[in-house]
Structure 1
Amino acid sequence: MNEREEVSRLDLLRFLERVQERDLARTRNWITAEEQRLAEAAARRPPPPPPDYVVQYGLGRGPAMVHQGFCEPQGARVRAIPANEARRLLNADAGLACRLCRPDTELGLL
């Protein structure tokens, strides 16, 4: 090889960079396609059934209210509980029962 035909190290590195950018773009397209596929699959699945009962917590203190699962109270301080836990909470304090969905009536506490 003479000097005119010799490829510089910088040219080789720039070529490698172009190849890697193309590969990165292709990988990002695959990621986007997979995210879309997963979102479409999730949209086709039915939502999970609501829990039987939920407890809503107050600010800095214990339980504030017990609801039936379909009541869907607003806020982030809500946790699903089984019927025996709801019964225990309502036996300890009947004032915790939601006045709209009446979990105490459903549990036979009234």
Structure 2
Amino acid sequence: MSDSPEERLRALRFLRRVQARDLARTDRWIAVWEQRAAEWVRRQAKPAVPDWALQFGVGGRAARPAMVHTSQCWVPGAAMEGISRDQAIEALTRGGVPPCVMCRPERELGLLD
């Protein structure tokens, strides 16, 4: 086999096609793993803790709300749901939901002087 310039160019072009295909495959792998890494980070992120919570009575969320709490108050076994400041004020003032006697959310909300 002679080592003519045409044969050398053919071999180099073939090598370039192989390397381009390998590079494209590597780029696809990188894209897949970047997506997996982003999903992993999203799963690891803890959800924001709401400032207020609504406790429900027996029957869970189907029951009437039992109490409004601050986010630091903890009631073992209680069905609780995070709510916004406006929702907490609404529940205490118009909703007839009593405040927790331990954490006193009405004080933190500025409803009492």
TM-score by length of 1: 0.51
Structure 1 unaligned residues grouped into runs of 5+: 1-37
Q: Secondary structure at the match of 2:92?
A: helix
Name the residue aligned to 1:96. Answer: 98
The separation in 2 between residues aligned to 1:64 and 1:76, in whole angstroms, is 10
Pairing 1:87–2:89 present: yes
Say how many residue pairs are matched. 67
CA deviations 1:41-94 (Å, max 9, x no partner) are x6xx7x65532000000014310011000112222511000010000000022x
The separation in 2 between residues aligned to 1:49 and 1:64, in whole angstroms, is 23
Name the residue aligned to 2:57. Answer: 58
**Conserved? CA contact 1:67–1:103, under 8 Å:** yes
**Conserved? CA contact 1:51–1:70, under 8 Å:** no
- For the pair shown, the structure with the greater C-alpha radius of gyration is 2
The separation in 1 between residues aligned to 2:109 and 2:83, in whole angstroms, is 13
- One-letter code aligned to 2:83: I
Q: Secondary structure at the match of 1:64?
A: strand
Name the residue aligned to 2:15. Answer: none
CA deviations 1:4-60 (Å, max 9, x no partner) are xxxxxxxxxxxxxxxxxxxxxxxxxxxxxxxxxx8xxx6xx7x65532000000014
Structure 2 unaligned residues grouped into runs of 5+: 1-39
Q: Secondary structure at the match of 1:67?
A: strand
**Conserved? CA contact 1:54–1:68, under 8 Å:** yes
Q: Secondary structure at the match of 1:70?
A: coil
The separation in 2 between residues aligned to 1:106 and 1:76, in whole angstroms, is 22
The percentage of counterpart residues that share the same residue type is 39
The separation in 1 between residues aligned to 2:71 and 2:47, in whole angstroms, is 12
